Structure 1
Amino acid sequence: MRAERVIPLQDVERVRIYINKGVRTLAEVKALTGADCVINGGLFEGSRAVCHLKADGTVYASDPYTYWGYAWDQGPDMALIGVPALTKRSYICCVCLVRGGKAEHLIYNSDLGGSRPRTAMGLKGGALVLYCSGEGQTPEELQRMCLEEGWDSAVMLDGGGSSQCDLGDGQRLTAPRRVHNLICVYLKHREEESPMDGVTRSYITRSDCYQAGRSITPQGIMLHSTATPGVMAEAMRERWDRSGVEEAVHAVIDGSHTIQLLPWTHRAWHAGTPKGGGVSANNTHISVEICEPQECRLLPEEWIPLKRGSTGWAVERLQRELQARGYDPKGIDGSFGPGCDAALRQCQADLGLDADGSCGPATREALAAREGSYLEYEPQDTTDYFEAAVGRAVALCAQLCVQYGIDPGTGILDHAEGYRRGIASNHADVGHWFPRHGLSMAGFRAAVLETVAMSGGHVSELDTAVDKLAAAGLIDSPDYWRGGAYSAENVQALLIKWAASI
Structure 2
Amino acid sequence: MNLHKLILTNNACYKAGRTITPKGIMVHSTGANNPNLKRYIGPDDGLLGKNQYGNHWNQTTPDGRQVCVHGFIGKLADGSIATYQTLPWNMRGWHCGSGAKGSGNDTHIGFEICEDGLTDASYFSALYKEAVELCVYLCKQFNLTEKDIICHCEGYKLGIASNHGDVMHWFPKHGKSMDSFRAEVKAGLASSAPAEPTTPKKYYRVQVGAYSVKANADAMLSKVKAAGFTDAFVKYSE
Among all aligned residue pairs of Structure 1 and Structure 2, give the percentage whose two residues are the same amino acid: 43
Mapping for residues 11-410 of structure 1, pairs under 5 Å: 195=1, 198-238=2-42, 239-245=56-62, 246-255=66-75, 256-273=81-98, 277=100, 280-293=103-116, 295-296=117-118, 379=119, 382-408=120-146, 410=147
**Cα gap change, 1:436 to 1:279, in 2 (>3 Å):** closer
Conserved? CA contact 2:28–2:113, under 8 Å: yes
For these two proteins, the number of residue pairs brought into alignment is 174
**Counterpart of 2:41 in 1: which secondary structure?**
helix
Instruction: State the match for 2:185 in structure 1.
Output: 448
Give the whole-Å Cα distance in 2 for the aligned partners of 1:450 and 1:210: 33
2:177 is the counterpart of 1:437: no
Letter of the aligned partner of 1:206 in structure 2? N
Give the whole-Å Cα distance in 2 for the aligned partners of 1:233 and 1:439: 23
**Counterpart of 2:26 in 1: which secondary structure?**
strand
Instruction: Please report how far the alpha carbon of residue 435 of structure 1 lies from its aligned counterpart in structure 2 after TM superposition.
Output: 0.3
Q: Any gaps of 5 or more consecutive residues in structure 2?
A: 43-55, 76-80, 196-238
Give the whole-Å Cα distance in 2 for the aligned partners of 1:215 and 1:390: 28
**Counterpart of 1:259 in 2: which secondary structure?**
strand
Letter of the aligned partner of 2:104 in structure 1? A
Instruction: State the match for 2:202 in structure 1.
Output: none
Two-structure CA RMSD over aligned residues (Å): 1.6
**Counterpart of 1:243 in 2: which secondary structure?**
coil
**Counterpart of 1:282 in 2: which secondary structure?**
helix
Provide, for residues 254-294 of structure 1, a one-character-per-residue CA deviation record: whole Å limited to 9, x for no partner.
151110000000000000136xx25611000001110001x
Conserved? CA contact 1:230–1:292, under 8 Å: yes
Give the whole-Å Cα distance in 1 for the aligned partners of 2:37 and 2:106: 24
Give the whole-Å Cα distance in 2 for the aligned partners of 1:441 and 1:457: 26
Give the whole-Å Cα distance in 1 for the aligned partners of 2:158 and 2:96: 12
Give the whole-Å Cα distance in 2 for the aligned partners of 1:393 and 1:278: 25
Conserved? CA contact 2:101–2:162, under 8 Å: no
Instruction: Please report how far the alpha carbon of residue 383 of structure 1 lies from its aligned counterpart in structure 2 after TM superposition.
Output: 1.1
Conserved? CA contact 1:253–1:290, under 8 Å: yes
**Counterpart of 2:25 in 1: which secondary structure?**
strand
Q: Any gaps of 5 or more consecutive residues in structure 1?
A: 1-194, 297-378, 459-502
Conserved? CA contact 2:73–2:83, under 8 Å: yes
Larger Rg: 2
Letter of the aligned partner of 2:113 in structure 1? I
Conserved? CA contact 2:61–2:67, under 8 Å: no
Conserved? CA contact 2:24–2:148, under 8 Å: yes
Letter of the aligned partner of 1:250 in structure 2? H
Higher relative contact order (CA 8 A, sep 6+): 2
**Counterpart of 1:240 in 2: which secondary structure?**
coil
What TM-score does the superposition give when structure 1 sets the normalisation length? 0.34
Letter of the aligned partner of 1:281 in structure 2? G
Give the whole-Å Cα distance in 2 for the aligned partners of 1:281 and 1:393: 19
Letter of the aligned partner of 2:83 in structure 1? T
Instruction: Please report how far the alpha carbon of residue 403 of structure 1 lies from its aligned counterpart in structure 2 after TM superposition.
Output: 1.1
Give the whole-Å Cα distance in 1 for the aligned partners of 2:114 and 2:59: 19
Letter of the aligned partner of 1:416 in structure 2? C
Conserved? CA contact 1:419–1:425, under 8 Å: yes
Runs of 4+ in 1 over 4 A off after TM superposition: none
**Cα gap change, 1:457 to 1:412, in 2 (>3 Å):** farther
Give the whole-Å Cα distance in 1 for the aligned partners of 2:168 and 2:82: 22
Letter of the aligned partner of 2:176 in structure 1? L
Instruction: Please report how far the alpha carbon of residue 244 of structure 1 lies from its aligned counterpart in structure 2 after TM superposition.
Output: 1.9
**Counterpart of 2:124 in 1: which secondary structure?**
helix
Instruction: Please report how far the alpha carbon of residue 231 of structure 1 lies from its aligned counterpart in structure 2 after TM superposition.
Output: 4.1
Letter of the aligned partner of 2:28 in structure 1? H
